[in-house]
Amino acid sequence: LDPGTGRWHIKIDTTGEKKALKTDNLELLLAHDPGKFKSGMAVLIHGLKGAAHLNDQEGICEQWDPVKGRWNIRLPLEGIKALKPENLE
């Protein structure tokens, strides 16, 4: 957000075009769907590249974050990690 103009600077994913838009012209989209997972459910992590050391670890679904489109997963040695549903099974 540019405090001087009151506009958000955004980039359109499909075209790469950049725009400066007023807050009134934007809508918050809640990211993704929590999928088949529920709070308290045990999950196995897979497919991570940036944090590959977490792959094959088991965790517990704590809470879905609809804004980030991620589950907060409690891991025994790593604490809470925010992970996408596609990286859980």
The predicted structure's pLDDT at residue 1? 87
So what's the pLDDT on residue 51?
Answer: 96
The SS3 assignment for 32 reads: coil
pLDDT per residue rounded down to tens, the chain (89 residues): 899 999 999 988 789 999 999 988 887 655 567 778 999 999 999 999 999 999 999 999 999 998 888 999 999 999 999 999 999 99
The pLDDT, as a whole number, for residue 31 is 58
* Spatial CB neighbours of 78, under 8 Å, sequence gap ≥ 6: 54, 57
Contact 8, 23 (CB under 8 A): yes
For tokens 């992590």, what's the residue? 45
For residue 14, the model assigns a pLDDT of 85
What the block records as the tokens of 32 is 């993704």
